[in-house]
Structure 1
């Protein structure tokens, strides 16, 4: 029986992190009385870094010299394919579970659970920390289940007690703490005694995504954000090197970014009776939840009659298999009965659309391609690989850390076998 969130929190000790000028920045959450099992203490260390919205070509396009140098001495993929929809929370959680969004339950940044009527959104703190929204076993849980300590300096899902468990060390999401402070906290973790030292650390950058949305992928502001991430990773790499530990780095992004038609956002093309149909908008797609299933055909026919080259209407029973977003894939009942898929540069919004965005199917909108690079003692040197699906990252991390996967996932060992040293 899963423990309640309240009982989980009662087992935790809260410690406050304070910057040098004594200004409180954020709160570190530490689960006491955990230690690395003796057999785990000689396992590799890995820092999994995400730069949100860091498109597959940004390192070259925006002159991220440090990342390019790291990749030359490690592994670089020509691109990494995000899962559909190529949205932040779904893809971050896919990276750490090896499951497509429809299989782990996070199908959008905005969601409706049809069975309960409950809604999820990034701005709803109560929903974000509720474990019921998160299926699968995130990599930090897999580590902890095997008595290997983990630390999350932000990652979607890490603030919820999934299966009654938190990472040993974690932080409530905040964009207030300076990068140098965050880097030092990572170093502090790695300087703990071996029995208390996390072997898996996650780290997250929001800046590139923010700039891409606000200014577009080609803007000087986006280049500045890319170079900030590039310089920060160089600092992180250099400071970690001073610990004397052999640490592996995996640098990923959740999706790419494309210019959208922000002057002419798409609206729902028919009038919806909200007493009969509930609507959830995620920009690149819109889900319709039809309360009376006898009404599905009539609503679908109305929408199909006004379909044009800017969007496609599907019954979710008929969504092509390539999206992994069919009703048969929908394990948690969160996709709806009808879906409207926008075609870039078109974008659904009740207000003005952003200049740049994502969420589109990567094989139809190549700008959705994400980034993958890795370097460190356990990775091949100077290797360039073909593009691959992001469900492959989780089993690679598990193999790197020597963690057995006991459940069925969508990823395989294909990536691990290509890039990890034997």
Structure 2
């Protein structure tokens, strides 16, 4: 029997409409949830004092890595971006928790966190690719997503977060009682665990109501506590326990949504942590050498300025005509300091996945590397280079070659093998693995697909 032309055309129109929104094939009936517990070192997974029953249960029923090598600098935004792009910062361009700005010749540099995704990330992300294939993406407190057009429900990790949260998400959260106008008004005044609670309730709401194919969720309290009290302290262990309870809430939301059998959960972190009983003040040394001046406790001029990233100090030479002279002076001032492990020059940058200064305007001219037990601070006041740590007694940002910077990786659920231990992986392997789980091509990634974790039903995207 011949099918009428009008019916054929109608079927074609319906296919065009329905295929992108996931009603035409199995590929749109899969879900990946990535939960990043900021500041959760790989070494805590085997520490019995660190209570995380939900994460360990996921690992027991899935895959756990010995550790995950992180990007340099080993700080939050660069590593979240490597997790999503599958490349190191030399390609994706994110070097700070914001964008480094140079106000002018001889002036100190600063980092501005109030930037859009397009200002920050220079390459495609896996969520861009997934969205282009007609799937829904949600991101709760995920860095470098402000005004990202490929995220359907975005609650970004930026100052003034509700100003940039997707309006429909705010409306639905208010209607469901997840947040109130009072919560929104005073959000940044909430404690770190209270903010984690809001974000957890938000992601659970999104999972139940929207069922995105890709959900990104960032918990921050463990990092905050490890900075203030250090890892492997009672406070640190308590923070890990609370983060684990938030993971349990997300698992319950997946069950409530009825998608558990089709969901892969990835537990990751962005970096490890190291106790730092001593703090280094390189800008004090620069001030004493006449390379920097201070008014009201702040640097106001700086031929040389050091911006701290925890275990490394990014050195900026701000006057081109004096650059070589100032470079030599910086090396002279710091090379024999017993607290400094090494000074990296541009010749060293490629082996750490860092861009060259000539290729990237935010990149430093030199990098100071602290020894274990020491971390950098931007303060230019005082008389001593080395002081006792006060408000910050734990830091990350050390070079990724330091094993205590290794991050956590657990995979569990749909298409994941059970009871498998991995060796070391890289965090740039996560993005192409997500793409494979959702059968989406993602050719710009330089990390590898973790094919060994699949149970045989996950096939590479064609």
Structure 2 residue 431 is the aligned partner of structure 1 residue 403: no
Query: CA offsets, 1:372-395, max 9 Å, x none?
Result: 001002111110000111111111
CA separation of 1:116 and 1:158: change in aligned 2, threshold 3 A: farther
1:19-418 pair list within 5 angstroms: 35-36=21-22, 38-39=24-25, 42-61=28-47, 62-109=50-97, 111-113=99-101, 121=111, 124=112, 126-127=114-115, 129=116, 131-161=118-148, 165-173=149-157, 182-192=199-209, 197-245=211-259, 246-262=262-278, 264-268=279-283, 269-270=285-286, 271=289, 272-273=291-292, 274=301, 276-306=303-333, 307=335, 308-311=337-340, 314=343, 316-319=345-348, 321-327=350-356, 331-351=359-379, 354-363=392-401, 365-407=402-444, 409-413=445-449, 415=450, 417-418=451-452
By how many angstroms is 1:418 displaced?
1.3
Structure 1 residue matching 2:33: 3-state secondary structure: strand
Determine if contact 1:300/1:315 at 8 Å carries over to the other structure.
no
Determine if contact 2:349/2:356 at 8 Å carries over to the other structure.
no
Q: TM-score, normalised by structure 1?
A: 0.80
Q: Distance in 1 between matches of 2:35 and 2:110?
A: 25
By how many angstroms is 1:224 displaced?
0.5
Determine if contact 1:251/1:374 at 8 Å carries over to the other structure.
yes
Higher helix share: 2
Unaligned runs of 5+ in 1: 1-33
CA separation of 1:213 and 1:419: change in aligned 2, threshold 3 A: same
Structure 2 residue matching 1:418: 3-state secondary structure: helix
* Number of residues of Structure 1 aligned to a counterpart in Structure 2: 374
Q: Distance in 2 between matches of 1:130 and 1:77?
A: 30
Determine if contact 1:378/1:421 at 8 Å carries over to the other structure.
yes
Determine if contact 1:55/1:370 at 8 Å carries over to the other structure.
yes
Query: Which structure's CA Rg is the greater one?
Result: 2
Determine if contact 1:316/1:335 at 8 Å carries over to the other structure.
no
Q: Distance in 2 between matches of 1:182 and 1:96?
A: 20
Q: Distance in 1 between matches of 2:134 and 2:109?
A: 34
Query: CA offsets, 1:127-155, max 9 Å, x none?
Result: 3x362222222222221122111001121
Q: Distance in 1 between matches of 2:281 and 2:104?
A: 29
Q: Distance in 1 between matches of 2:204 and 2:120?
A: 32
Determine if contact 2:307/2:315 at 8 Å carries over to the other structure.
yes
Unaligned runs of 5+ in 2: 1-19, 158-186, 293-300, 380-389, 457-462
CA separation of 1:331 and 1:388: change in aligned 2, threshold 3 A: farther
CA separation of 1:131 and 1:321: change in aligned 2, threshold 3 A: closer
Q: Distance in 2 between matches of 1:315 and 1:60?
A: 33
Determine if contact 2:231/2:274 at 8 Å carries over to the other structure.
yes
By how many angstroms is 1:214 displaced?
0.4
Determine if contact 1:64/1:226 at 8 Å carries over to the other structure.
yes
Structure 1 residue matching 2:398: 3-state secondary structure: coil
CA separation of 1:292 and 1:207: change in aligned 2, threshold 3 A: closer
Q: CA RMSD in A?
A: 2.8
Structure 2 residue matching 1:347: 3-state secondary structure: strand
Q: Distance in 2 between matches of 1:341 and 1:180?
A: 36
Query: CA offsets, 1:227-247, max 9 Å, x none?
Result: 111122122212312322121
Q: Distance in 2 between matches of 1:115 and 1:82?
A: 30
Structure 2 residue matching 1:38: 3-state secondary structure: coil
CA separation of 1:254 and 1:218: change in aligned 2, threshold 3 A: same
Mean Cα displacement is larger for which, 47-56 or 174-183? 174-183
By how many angstroms is 1:420 displaced?
1.9
Structure 1 residue matching 2:282: 3-state secondary structure: coil
